[in-house]
Amino acid sequence: MVPTVITNLKEITWGAWALIALYISLLSGVIVGLQYDYQTPYYSATSIDILVPFGKFFRSLHFYSSQLFLFFSCFHLLAVYDKTDKYTGSDWARLAATLPVILFLLFTGYILRGDSTGSSAGLIAESIMYTIPLIGPTLDNLLFSLTDGGLRKVYLHHVITLDIVLLILLWRHLQLYRIRIRNYIPLTGMILIFSMVVAAPLEPEQLGVTYISGPWFFLGLQEILRYMHPFIAGIVVPSLFLIAFFGVYPQHKRAHLFIWFLWGWLLIYAFFSTIAWLR
C-alpha cells in the first residue's frame, strides 16, 4: 500500500504545479505591491483588504500561492531526486541555493505585513544578525536595517533583489519545463477559490499578549532560541541544514550520510515546531 502511494505521488507533475504557483505569486505580487506602502506597513496591508477593490483576494492569492510554490518545489525535489544523478556539483548548488532564497522571500513577506507576527519576526531576525562575530552589523545593514531604515530594504529585497536572484538560479532549470496554464485549470481554479474563501492572516497588536508565534517555518527556530544562544540557534542550526542540503547531490560520495542527517534534523526541528505551536 505504502509503495503504491509513493509511486502515485511521484507521478504528479510537482514541477509544473510549482511553476503555476510561482506565476500566480509573481502576478498577484505585482498587484499587491503597487498598493503597498512600506512606510505604513500594517495600515497599508489593512487598507488593501478594506479599500482596494478585490484587495483581500489578491493579498490572499499572493500569500497562498507563495506558500504552495515552496511546498510543490519540495515535493518536486523528492519525486525527481533519483533522476538528478547527472547533475554536477555546480548544477546542484544552484538548485539548492533556491531553498534559502525562497524561504527568505516568504520571511520578508511576513515582515512586510507589519502585524504582530511580522514585527516580532523582524526584530528577532535583526537581533540574531548582531550575534554574528565581525560581520553581523554589516549583514543586518545589508538585509534588514529595521532600526535605522524601517522596512525599506526588506521591501526592496522582497520585490526586486530576491526575485531576480531566484530567477537567475532557476533559469537553466526552467528551460527544461514548458507548461500551458490551460492544462492546469483545475489546480489554478482551486488556488483562486481557496484565496477567495480563506483570507491571508493579518494579526493586530494585542495588549497583554506575552507570546507571539512566528511564521510556520520559523516556529522551530523560535522555540530553540529559548534554550540556546541566539548565534547557535539562529545561525549554526540552520547552517548545518543548508550545508547538508548542498551535499546530498547523488554524485557526492557521502550523499547518503547527508540524507540521514537531513531527515534527523527535520525530525528534531518538527519536534520543536510542535512544542512552539502548542504554546
Domain of 273 in residue numbering reads as: 211-279
Whether residues 142 and 179 share a domain: the answer is yes
Whether residues 197 and 225 share a domain: the answer is no
Whether residues 247 and 274 share a domain: the answer is yes
Taking the C-alpha atoms of 190, 97, 77 and 186 in order, what is their torsion angle to the nearest 10 degrees? 10
Whether residues 57 and 107 share a domain: the answer is yes
Which region among 210-214, 229-233, 266-270, 271-275 has the lowest average model confidence (pLDDT)?
210-214
Residue 87 has pLDDT above 60, yes or no: yes
pLDDT mean over 260-271? 94
Show contacts of 259-268: CB within 8 Å, 24+ apart. 265/240, 265/241
d(CA 49, CA 28): 14
> Which residue would you say has higher pLDDT here, 273 or 212?
273
Q: For residue range 154-181, list pLDDT tens digits in order.
A: 999 999 999 999 999 988 887 777 777 7
203, 220, 240 - which closes a domain: 203
Whether residues 127 and 230 share a domain: the answer is no
Whether residues 45 and 89 share a domain: the answer is yes
203, 233, 262 - which closes a domain: 203
Whether residues 134 and 12 share a domain: the answer is yes
- The tally of domains found in the chain comes to 2
Whether residues 238 and 186 share a domain: the answer is no
The DSSP 8-state label assigned to residue 233 in this structure reads: I
pTM of the shown model: 0.89
Q: For residue range 105-142, list pLDDT tens digits in order.
A: 999 999 999 888 888 889 889 999 999 998 999 999 99
- What phi and psi values does residue 85 have, to the nearest 5 degrees? -65, -15
Whether residues 240 and 130 share a domain: the answer is no
Q: How many CB atoms lie within 10 A of CB 153?
A: 20
